[in-house]
Amino acid sequence: MPPATPRRTPWGPALEHFGYGPQPGIDADTRGTTGAEFSAVLRSYLGDDVDAEAFWTYFSGVANESFARRIDKKPGLDDLLALLDERGIPRAVASSSSPEQIAHHIRVTGVERYFTMTVSGKEVAHTKPEPDIFLECARRMRSA
């Protein structure tokens, strides 16, 4: 098996676009955050003057561009989704990503038809590592 390719992130282009240099740790510290949590972490690295909304918009655009070229699916995902669908087992996506990113990812990977609902990090009070996204998803699935 070939060695894993290092994970590329939109951080380099986004930081450079806004005139900042590399920020070791920012990727890990913002992973799974959205909204106010993302903004708070961003400000802790870049200062209170950063326009967090503009940064997020640009950052997300770079990420979506990257993901438009290629999103790798885990081996066996298609078979698993087909089996769940065949057996009538409900499926949902619970992710700390934005609703737009979730929709984009499931569309680009061709699995959109398998999911009846999504819950994003923007729809709950706390994102990772808190379980809010998964609990909200389970609540909605119970109600559906």
Each residue's pLDDT tens digit, 118-132: 999 889 988 877 899
**Dihedral-angle region of residue 26 (phi above 0 means left; psi in -120 to 50 means alpha; beta otherwise):** alpha
pLDDT 10s digits, 54-111? 998 898 888 877 766 667 889 999 999 999 999 999 999 999 888 888 888 898 889 9
Total domains, the chain: 2
The answer to whether residues 26 and 43 belong to one domain is: yes
- Examine the domain organization and report whether 138 and 88 are in the same domain: yes
Residue 3, domain member (yes or no): no
pTM over cut 0.85: no
**Is the pLDDT confidence value at 19 over 50?**
yes
Domain identity same for 84 and 139: yes
Residues 6+ apart with CB under 8 A from 29: 41, 44, 45
Co-location of 103 and 60 in the same domain: no
Give the residue from 8, 9, 60, 11 showing the smallest Cα distance to 34.
Answer: 60
Residue 88 and residue 50 share a domain = no
Phi, then psi, of 125 in degrees rounded to 5: -70, -35
The CATH code of the domain that includes 118 is 3.40.50.1000
From the list 129, 57, 59, 141, the residue with the least C-alpha distance to 93 is 141
The single-letter DSSP state of residue 124 is S
- Count of CB atoms situated within 10 Å of the CB of 122: 15
Burial of 99 (0-12, 13-18, 19+ CB in 10 A): middle
The DSSP symbol for 63 reads H
Cα–Cα distance between 13 and 117 in angstroms, integer?
A: 32
Domain that holds residue 16: 11-69
Identify whether residues 40 and 83 lie together within a single domain.
no
Same domain, 65 and 82: no
Q: 112 and 61, same structural domain?
A: no
